[in-house]
């Protein structure tokens, strides 16, 4: 029997603020990837849009943020909010506060055969 | 293009404290299930052990808890702590505080051990 593994704490310690967001993969399996993202006053570059092949379930663990979508909709998120962003849904990070921590679960879309 | 979905907030509102823990499935796909668990001074019944067919990655979102394992190990968890519990690893919830919120990701075990 494999023992349990304490894999860490999502909010402590945080990486020192830098010019880029920090991405850490916590768990990766065929068809899924779980990652922590740490933002600190970051935003996506002007005009940049994420347009992902995977569905994404994302939780704002700590801090504050705004997600913008290309239909003009903006979602203001506070700690505990979670959002599902379907594959192909163009979005960007419009704003983040200090020490903002996300948990993102990327999963292969349903009814789409994984292509490798 | 499917629009984004605000699926809720993990910590607000919480269900009223009751005699049982609350389990809500947030996302279910072949091979994975993401759920919120709300505990409020709950513990597993004496002598009860979880012994699951799936691997579980679990995050303590809010509150405090202790997980016990059948080798005698006890993990005291605080908010932000996350633990991977492999399939078949016998464990129980030894103690939880008030308004304790977990996020649990259950995934089908890998067919072969990860190459290390």
- B73 belongs to a structural domain: yes
Phi, psi (rounded to 5 degrees) for A21: -70, 155
Q: Cα dist. B70→A40, B52, B53, B55, B91 in Å?
A: 41, 14, 17, 17, 6
Q: What is the pLDDT of residues B49-97, one digit of tens each?
A: 999 999 999 999 999 999 999 999 999 999 999 999 999 999 999 999 9
Query: Would residue A14 count as lying in a domain?
Result: no
Give pLDDT, residue B115: 52
User: What average pLDDT is seen over chain B?
Assistant: 93
pTM of the prediction? 0.92
User: Which residues from chain B sit within 8 angstroms of residue A1, using beta carbons?
Assistant: 86, 88-90
**Total structural domains in chain A?**
1
**Is residue A17 assigned to a domain?**
no
Secondary structure of A52-108 in HEC code, one letter for each residue? CCCEEEEEEEECEEEEEECCCCEEEEECCEEEEECCCCCEEEEEECCCEEEEEEEEC
Q: Assess if residue B12 is contained within a domain.
A: no
Interface membership of A94 toward B (CB under 8 Å): no
Please say if the pLDDT value at position A109 is more than 60: yes
Taking the mean position of all CA atoms in its chain, how far away is CA A51? 13
- Asked whether residue B47 is domain-assigned, the answer is yes
Express each pLDDT in A61-91 by its tens digit.
Answer: 999 999 999 999 999 999 999 999 999 999 9
- Chain A residue numbers with beta carbons less than 8 Å from the beta carbon of B32 are 29, 31-32, 107
Yes or no, beta carbons of B75 and A6 under 8 Å apart? yes
Question: Which domain range does residue B36 map to?
Answer: 22-107
What's the CATH code of the domain at B58? 2.60.120.10
Please judge whether B67 and A4 are an interchain contact, meaning their C-beta atoms are less than 8 angstroms apart: yes
Is residue B27 a part of any domain in this protein?
A: yes
């Amino acid at each position: 029997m494999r023992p349990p593994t304490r894999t860490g704490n999502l909010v402590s310690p945080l990486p020192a603020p830098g010019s880029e967001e920090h991405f850490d993969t916590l768990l990766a399996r065929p068809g899924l990837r779980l990652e922590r993202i740490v933002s600190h006053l970051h935003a996506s570059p002007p005009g940049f849009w994420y347009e992902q092949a995977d569905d994404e379930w994302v939780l704002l663990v700590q801090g504050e943020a705004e997600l913008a979508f290309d239909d003009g909709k903006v979602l203001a998120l506070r700690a505990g909010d979670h959002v599902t962003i379907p594959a192909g849904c163009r979005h960007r990070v419009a704003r983040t506060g200090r020490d903002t921590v996300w948990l993102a679960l990327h999963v292969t879309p349903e009814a789409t055969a994984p292509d490798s």
